[in-house]
Structure 1
């Protein structure tokens, strides 16, 4: 396996020790989420390589960017990626389960943004690789746990941003409503103009407001990217 890092315009990410490698979902979420100037604190749940935290550190002056990772190898690699970046003084990674973190931190810290590219493959598709399964399957971080835990950690103005499969949208939003978290912005993602919608980018808040919805298509055809996608990720990918 290659140990060469994945290079972005302002940072690089080593990922040889992470079960889940850098993919389109994480980059989309890190580029898409709104980052108002008043944002002071961010929590990245299930950081993996640390890619989303690094993107947000590049995009935002937020002084507190915490990340959480349960897998030991991924945690250690995320720490190394943070320390090698220009924003190491603002990035900190915890090695813990989300439920443990919530219990420890709910009286200590509140976050203006919680962001997560959560595992969402169901158990029917499990492999024999424990680390990869942990990174990919809901057993490690079910939506209900992510949503409920976030209510304890969000500040009064806090938002939760996620990317999930389109076929999980109704279930996710129904569960979110049970915890008084409401969608404010949703972007439906298609691979190309003729493909089905595969992903939903969702920003949730504590107030039930009108939802802003739109659609993003990634490619016109293979390796020919749409203007909307290029505009979204141009500050990160070297080739765009």
Structure 2
């Protein structure tokens, strides 16, 4: 599949992406910022794609970390390897695994697990004819229940779990978190404009009950003009 090279100057990153396959969006930057705000030394990403999220986290944080990246699709995994090698992470160790996350055991117990998961039920809505996009966007191989079950069975009592999701799935996430006897520690509601309702949310899940924290993040202050906070997240200087 043909690729192109995207440069993210603010973070000194260059990433290959498949021209007609799954491509990253602002969701990746938001998730990276959300995770980078947590204290951790060992992170595990499920559905790593081209590697954008973990590479951004590595750039956003100062201390040495251990990253384990899991990607089931061979086409994306090949890009992942290429991008990690191209960007030569400054200080951290990266372990890359071309495996199905539902059946994988972490090489080390992570402090935090994070994912930009498929948003859409495979039985609903239009499915892309592009297989790479379809798997990345629809719950064909991976759904919330399987992710929560994996998290409970394969991580430590202090391991946290973070997602970025579309707002229409918020109540479903709350219900499933409660069903699995887990706890929501933090939610950031993401609004396109200050006077608009949120269209995305970032959620932090814990096995232990913590004081609940709620925040809002606005993307644009006017048409096509990012807020100062989002400029910072995107590395726009």
**Structure 2 counterpart of 1:13, from 7, 12, 15:** 15
Question: Which sits farther off after the overlay, 156-165 or 5-14?
Answer: 5-14
Aligned residue number for residue 96 of structure 1: 99
Hey, what's the Cα distance between the residues in 2 that align with 1:118 and 1:31? 16
Hey, what's the Cα distance between the residues in 1 that align with 2:103 and 2:150? 10
Question: Could you list the per-position Cα deviations for residues 37-71 of structure 1 after superposition, in whole angstroms to 9, with x for gaps in the alignment?
Answer: xx221101001110111012223434320101111
TM-score by length of 1: 0.88
Question: Could you list the per-position Cα deviations for residues 185-229 of structure 1 after superposition, in whole angstroms to 9, with x for gaps in the alignment?
Answer: 110001112332111101111112231001111001222111232
Aligned residue number for residue 110 of structure 2: 111
Q: CA deviation at 1:17?
A: 6.1
Question: Which sits farther off after the overlay, 67-76 or 52-61?
Answer: 52-61
Aligned residue number for residue 228 of structure 2: 227
RMSD over aligned Cα atoms? 2.0
Q: Secondary structure at the match of 1:14?
A: strand
Query: Are the equivalent residues in 2 in contact too, given 1:120–1:138 (CA < 8 A)?
Result: yes
Aligned residue number for residue 195 of structure 1: 196
Question: Could you list the per-position Cα deviations for residues 146-184 of structure 1 after superposition, in whole angstroms to 9, with x for gaps in the alignment?
Answer: 111111232232110101111111111211222232111
Aligned residue number for residue 75 of structure 2: 73
Query: Are the equivalent residues in 2 in contact too, given 1:18–1:49 (CA < 8 A)?
Result: no
TM-score by length of 2: 0.89
Question: Which sits farther off after the overlay, 64-73 or 220-229?
Answer: 220-229
Hey, what's the Cα distance between the residues in 2 that align with 1:46 and 1:17? 19
Aligned residue number for residue 63 of structure 1: 65
Question: Which sits farther off after the overlay, 157-166 or 118-127?
Answer: 118-127
Query: Are the equivalent residues in 2 in contact too, given 1:42–1:62 (CA < 8 A)?
Result: no
Aligned residues: 230
Aligned residue number for residue 84 of structure 1: 86
Q: Which runs of 5+ in 2 are unaligned?
A: none
Hey, what's the Cα distance between the residues in 2 that align with 1:146 and 1:48? 17
Q: Which runs of 5+ in 1 are unaligned?
A: none
Hey, what's the Cα distance between the residues in 2 that align with 1:200 and 1:224? 21
Query: Are the equivalent residues in 2 in contact too, given 1:14–1:81 (CA < 8 A)?
Result: yes
Query: Are the equivalent residues in 1 in contact too, given 2:72–2:100 (CA < 8 A)?
Result: yes
Aligned residue number for residue 42 of structure 1: 43
Question: CA 1:210/1:18 → structure 2, altered by over 3 Å: closer, same or farther?
Answer: farther
Query: Are the equivalent residues in 1 in contact too, given 2:183–2:208 (CA < 8 A)?
Result: yes
Hey, what's the Cα distance between the residues in 2 that align with 1:206 and 1:216? 25
Q: Secondary structure at the match of 1:5?
A: strand
Q: CA deviation at 1:99?
A: 1.1
Query: Are the equivalent residues in 1 in contact too, given 2:3–2:16 (CA < 8 A)?
Result: no
